[in-house]
Amino acid sequence: MRTALVLEGGAMRGLYTAGVLDILLDNKIEVDAIYGTSAGVLFGVNYISKQRGRTIRYNKKYAADSRYMGMRSLLTTGNIINKDFAYYEIPFNLDVFDQKTFEQSTTKLYATLTNVRSGKVEYQEVKDVLEQMEVLRATSAMPFVSKMVTLNGEKYLDGGLTDSIPLKKCLDDGFEKVVVVLTRPKGYRKEKPNPFVAKIFYRKFPRLVEVINSRYAMYNKQIDFIENLEKLGKVLVIRPSEEKKLSRIEKNKERLQAIYDLGINDATNVIEKIKSYLSK
């Protein structure tokens, strides 16, 4: 029986996922693969490297640091999340990522990417986090506030634009037991955006404009799909049990801790259900 986790993105809301993953680590729950988008990948790597608490630790320590993220970085580098500090200085030097443990794991990791030219989703396996840091940047490069990331001559942005919750890809790849971790509470749906913003900002990339303007419909359809499978008992879904106010680049340590703690508590409440589901 092949098992997997599917991790939604959501920028700093992904700290909810980090809490859930730390409870899975506490209970020595392992899966065969992770399919993630954006923050789901950025924070999910620490589950595979078994670095419990790393996600909340470095985010609380550096979230308010202007070197990490914010308007200063956006104005000076074109990226609201600072490339050099967030993706290189922290994991290589300040809070070192355990690549050795990661590569020893049998759990595979797949990241979603949005090809800017084609407007299509692409999936890339991450085998070496430190060597493939640009893949992690690409899956999490938020539109409007991030530069496009170039990989093999192609330009990419946030994978969430084309596959916000890659459950269908996971199922198509043959995984039979899937735990889906969402970062929005039950009932959440995205609203239609102002179509002119993307048209103005990305006028040279018409397929990307189409993707951005139709993302809300894609996302809502994915949620409907997930909820239907959940009712049928075919997937197990963990989602925030309550709404927490949080900005995409939240800097308040108390709010960051609160969303992480919610993930801890929600996962603790269903941990026996998770064990039973995955072991059947």
- What mean pLDDT do residues 46-75 have? 95
With 80 as the cut, is the pLDDT of residue 97 above it? Answer: yes
Reduce the DSSP state of residue 104 to 3 states and report it: helix
pLDDT > 70: percent of the chain: 100
Segment 146-191, tens digit of pLDDT:
999 999 999 999 999 999 999 999 999 999 999 999 999 999 999 9
Q: Is the dihedral of CA 54, 13, 261, 175 positive or negative?
A: negative
With 80 as the cut, is the pLDDT of residue 280 above it? Answer: no
CA distances from 179 to 19, 207, 268, 275, 278 (A): 15, 32, 14, 11, 8
Higher pLDDT pick, 135 / 248: 135
Strand partners, 35: 6, 110
Confidence of residue 100 (pLDDT cuts 50, 70, 90): very high
Instruction: Please tell me the predicted confidence (pLDDT) of residue 51.
Output: 98
**At residue 89, what are phi and psi to the nearest 5 degrees?**
-65, -45
Instruction: Please tell me the predicted confidence (pLDDT) of residue 279.
Output: 87
Instruction: Please tell me the predicted confidence (pLDDT) of residue 1.
Output: 81
**At residue 7, what are phi and psi to the nearest 5 degrees?**
-115, 115
**At residue 36, what are phi and psi to the nearest 5 degrees?**
-135, 160
Segment 10-38, tens digit of pLDDT:
999 999 999 999 999 999 999 999 999 99
- What mean pLDDT do residues 255-277 have? 97
- What mean pLDDT do residues 116-140 have? 98
Task: Report d(CA 146, CA 149) in Å as an integer.
Answer: 9
CA distances from 123 to 93, 126, 138, 156, 163 (A): 28, 10, 11, 12, 10
- What mean pLDDT do residues 63-84 have? 94
- What mean pLDDT do residues 65-69 have? 93
- 229-19-15-9 Cα dihedral, nearest 10 degrees: -20
Segment 40-52, tens digit of pLDDT:
999 999 999 999 9
CA distances from 114 to 52, 161, 222, 277 (A): 29, 7, 17, 32
Task: Report d(CA 6, CA 173) in Å as an integer.
Answer: 13
Instruction: Please tell me the predicted confidence (pLDDT) of residue 248.
Output: 84
Instruction: Please tell me the predicted confidence (pLDDT) of residue 136.
Output: 98
- Average pLDDT over the chain, rounded to an integer: 96
With 90 as the cut, is the pLDDT of residue 249 above it? Answer: no
Task: Report d(CA 20, CA 268) in Å as an integer.
Answer: 8
